[in-house]
């Protein structure tokens, strides 16, 4: 003990113990904080690519998948459906697909797809985000007496052809979005990836 009554050994021991307890406490506080920066499995899955089995889609039929919380429409077009596409140019807002929306380069054609037979679109109307309904048959419809097949949004009346191209007179300003996708095999596509980024 020193002359002024202070035990320096005890002071050093208490200072060291306090520092050690503080360091351990800081570690307990820091671990959950740092862990909160790591995305959860749910968040990873929300942005992950989606695999879609296309083997059971009959000609003329469509299935709906999900990617990033949005519906994805995958339709198998017949040759008759594909033959109608060039006839619609004068009825479309963007017949030559010149208004560049978020679409991959392989969608820059009349079919707006990698392979003519299969069309892959986000099932979200470009007007207010509603889900357009698939009307594949070529027959007069209450919303269009000259209907040649495609998607109709019953919320506000937007009409899209079998390539997802928007008709004149529709509230939607742009075509339905073609998401990035690639063929994993003849029967499986992967939405959210393409060969350039795979």
pLDDT digits 0-9 by tens, 87-145? 988 899 876 666 656 678 888 889 999 999 999 999 999 888 888 999 998 888 888 88
Same-domain status, 90 and 157: yes
Position 96 in a domain: yes
> How many separate domains does the chain show?
2
Same-domain status, 98 and 19: no
Position 105 in a domain: yes
Same-domain status, 70 and 1: no
Position 198 in a domain: no
Same-domain status, 4 and 78: no
| 144, two tokens | 């269009």
Same-domain status, 81 and 128: yes
Position 9 in a domain: yes
Same-domain status, 67 and 153: yes
Q: Is the CB of residue 178 less than 8 Å from the CB of residue 121? A: yes
Same-domain status, 32 and 100: no
Q: What is the CATH number of the domain that holds 93?
A: 2.102.10.10
Position 104 in a domain: yes
Q: Quick one: pLDDT band at residue 152, thresholds 50, 70, 90? A: very high
Same-domain status, 1 and 80: no
Same-domain status, 129 and 107: yes
Position 196 in a domain: no
Q: What is the pTM of this model?
A: 0.73
Q: What string of DSSP letters covers the chain?
A: --TTS--HHHHHHHHHHHHHHHHHHHHHHHHHHHHTTSPPHHHHHHHS-EEEE-TT--TT-EEEEEETTEEEEEEE--HHHHHHGGGGGGGBSSTT--S--S--GGG-STT-SSSTTEEEEES--TTTS--PEEE-S-S-BTTBTT--SEEE-TTT--EE-TT-PBBTT-S--SPPP---EEESSSSEEEET--TTT-
pLDDT of residue 102: 64
Find the domain containing 3 and state its range.
1-38
Q: Quick one: pLDDT band at residue 52, thresholds 50, 70, 90? A: very high
Same-domain status, 99 and 177: yes
Same-domain status, 148 and 114: yes
Position 197 in a domain: no
pLDDT of residue 28: 76
pLDDT of residue 198: 44
CA pair distance 77, 57, nearest whole angstrom: 10
Position 123 in a domain: yes
Same-domain status, 109 and 57: yes
């Amino acid at each position: 003990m020193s002359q002024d009554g202070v035990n320096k050994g005890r002071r050093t021991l208490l200072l060291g113990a306090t520092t050690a307890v503080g360091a351990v406490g800081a570690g307990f506080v820091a671990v959950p904080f740092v862990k909160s920066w790591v995305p959860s499995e749910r968040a990873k899955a929300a942005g992950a690519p989606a695999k879609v089995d296309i083997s059971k889609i009959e000609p003329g039929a469509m299935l709906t998948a999900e990617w990033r919380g949005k519906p994805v429409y995958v339709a198998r077009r017949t040759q008759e459906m594909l033959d109608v596409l060039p006839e619609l140019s004068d009825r479309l807002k963007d017949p030559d697909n010149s208004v560049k929306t978020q679409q991959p380069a392989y969608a820059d054609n009349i079919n707006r797809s990698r392979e003519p037979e299969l069309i892959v679109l986000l099932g979200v109307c470009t007007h207010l985000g509603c889900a357009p309904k698939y009307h594949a048959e070529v027959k007069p419809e209450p919303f269009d007496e000259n209907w040649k097949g495609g998607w109709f949004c019953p919320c506000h009346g937007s009409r899209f052809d079998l390539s997802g191209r928007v008709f004149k007179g529709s509230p939607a300003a742009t075509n339905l979005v073609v998401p990035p996708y690639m063929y994993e095999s003849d029967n499986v596509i992967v939405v959210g990836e393409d060969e350039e980024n795979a």
